[in-house]
């Protein structure tokens, strides 16, 4: 596994980056210590074998939705699991995985993935899941929406699709690199990221409401945003992403770097409520929290099981849920609640 360090950078966007070799850490800003690191955790497993949880979304702690693929004890499969506050229930028997899930409310949730001939998109209306198989759009890896009638999804070979409230259509991305994640603040401020491990290329795109513009597309290079770019998230006008481009020391605008406490570890997902309260999760059971002043690495999970791969995190109302795949091949869910 590629050895990487993660850091946050504040430019027009703020970037978490990584590199193979140790670096001298610059002075860090000292903002207000605004949120607590103290969470109590419960751990659940989903599926009995060859199962994986790839994404999570929730509005409240008693309505948690997890996408992926789960093998059940009766030899059937499921792609969606729902926590109702007491137990996990399973929905869908679609073949292959769903890779990402995003919602506007408990009666308007979208999940995306693939089938043998294109993209799979499923929608929850509060009562039932309905499925669309699209042959004119390739496999989709991630979905995000500005509003219910304006939803964006990204996927392989630079695929970007847009939903206008009625139908899905393709958009021109300007890249052929696989896109892995998307996040925005409005229809005029959306970022998409991606990469190709086989050749070291990474890409960062921004949509301004008219077209997608390429911020970078290049090999892993020291000193600049580059290389495989895994995920992106933003709040309060700042964005954060993980990439393999090395140490950022400056540019057209001053950058401030903040290093996370996990080294030599690939991080997969970022989410929170503000720039003073967000989580980063990844390989080796890594769950890290930034509270506006300091990082905290949860020791009860980090490297307790070398094979635990955490794929996604979602935070809402002092609750956080992290999902992934356990070392023994089951879907795993960490449910955390902040305590005083």
What does 217-247 look like in DSSP terms, one character per residue? EEE--TTSS-S-EEEEEEETTEEEEEES---
Q: Is the pLDDT of residue 122 over 50?
A: yes
Residue 13 CB partners (closer than 8 Å, separation 6+): 191, 234, 238, 239, 240, 241
Please report the pLDDT score of residue 242 as a whole number. 80
DSSP assignment letter at 183: E
Please report the pLDDT score of residue 17 as a whole number. 43
Sign of the dihedral through C-alpha 247, 271, 311, 186 = negative
Please report the pLDDT score of residue 260 as a whole number. 62
Q: Classify 88 as helix, strand or coil.
A: strand
Rounded CA separation 68/198 (Å): 24
Q: Is the pLDDT of residue 271 over 80?
A: yes
The residues spanned by each domain of the chain are: 5-24+46-269
pLDDT band, very low/low/confident/very high, at 283 (cuts 50, 70, 90)? confident
The total of other beta-carbon atoms located within 10 Å of residue 206's CB is: 18
Q: Is the pLDDT of residue 307 over 80?
A: no
Nearest to residue 195, comparing CAs of 186, 207, 204? 204
Q: Let me know how many helices (H) and strands (E) the chain has, helices first.
A: 0, 29
Q: What is the CA 66 to chain-centroid distance, rounded?
A: 13
**Contact (CB, 8 A) for 136 and 118:** yes
Q: Per-residue pLDDT averaged across 267-279, rounded?
A: 91
Please report the pLDDT score of residue 137 as a whole number. 94
**Contact (CB, 8 A) for 52 and 97:** yes
Q: What class does CATH assign to 5-24+46-269?
A: mainly beta
* pTM for this predicted structure: 0.87
Q: What is the pLDDT of residues 188-207, one digit of tens each?
A: 999 999 998 888 888 989 99
Q: Is the pLDDT of residue 113 over 90?
A: yes
Please report the pLDDT score of residue 7 as a whole number. 41
Q: Is the pLDDT of residue 101 over 90?
A: yes
Question: Over the chain, what is the mean pLDDT?
Answer: 83
Share of the chain above pLDDT 70, in %: 81
Residue 144 CB partners (closer than 8 Å, separation 6+): 102, 151, 152, 153, 182, 183, 184, 190
Q: Which residues pair with 171 in a beta bridge?
A: 160
Q: Per-residue pLDDT averaged across 79-86, rounded?
A: 96
Q: Which residues pair with 299 in a beta bridge?
A: none
Residue 247 CB partners (closer than 8 Å, separation 6+): 7, 17, 19, 23, 222, 223, 257
Please report the pLDDT score of residue 261 as a whole number. 66
Rounded CA separation 184/13 (Å): 11
Please report the pLDDT score of residue 85 as a whole number. 96
Q: Is the pLDDT of residue 29 over 70?
A: no
Name the burial class of residue 141, with classes exposed (0-12), middle (13-18) and buried (19+) by CB atoms within 10 angstroms of its CB. Answer: buried
The residue ranking higher by pLDDT, 248 or 233, is: 233
């Amino acid at each position: 596994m590629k050895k990487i360090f993660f850091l946050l950078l504040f430019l027009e966007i703020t970037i978490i980056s990584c590199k193979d070799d140790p670096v001298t850490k610059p002075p860090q800003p000292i903002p207000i210590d605004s949120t607590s690191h103290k969470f109590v955790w419960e751990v659940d497993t989903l599926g009995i074998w060859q199962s994986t949880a790839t994404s999570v979304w929730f509005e409240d702690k008693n309505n948690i939705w997890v996408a992926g693929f789960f093998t059940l004890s009766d030899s059937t499969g499921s792609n969606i699991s729902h926590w109702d506050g007491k137990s996990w229930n399973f929905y869908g028997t679609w073949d292959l995985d769903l890779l990402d899930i995003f919602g506007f409310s408990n009666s308007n949730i979208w999940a995306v993935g693939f089938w043998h001939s294109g993209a799979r998109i499923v929608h929850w209306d509060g009562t039932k899941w309905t499925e669309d198989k699209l042959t004119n759009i390739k496999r989709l890896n991630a979905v995000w929406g500005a509003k219910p009638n304006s939803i964006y999804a990204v996927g392989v070979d630079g695929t970007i699709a847009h939903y206008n409230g009625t139908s899905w259509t393709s958009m021109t991305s300007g890249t052929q690199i696989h896109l892995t994640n998307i996040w925005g603040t409005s229809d005029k401020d959306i970022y998409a990221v991606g990469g190709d491990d086989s050749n070291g290329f990474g890409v960062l795109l921004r949509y301004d409401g008219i077209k997608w513009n390429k911020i970078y597309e290049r090999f892993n290079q020291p000193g600049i945003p580059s290389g495989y770019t895994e995920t992106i998230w933003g709040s309060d006008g700042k964005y954060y992403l993980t990439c393999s481009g090395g140490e950022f020391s400056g540019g057209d605008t001053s950058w401030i770097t903040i290093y996370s406490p996990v080294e030599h570890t690939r991080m997969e997902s970022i989410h929170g409520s503000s720039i003073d309260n967000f989580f980063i999760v990844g390989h080796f059971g890594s769950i890290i929290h930034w509270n506006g002043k300091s990082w905290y690495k949860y020791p009860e999970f980090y490297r307790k099981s070398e094979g635990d791969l955490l794929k996604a995190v979602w935070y809402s109302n002092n609750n956080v849920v992290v999902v992934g795949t356990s070392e023994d091949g089951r879907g795993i869910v960490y449910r955390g609640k902040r305590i005083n």
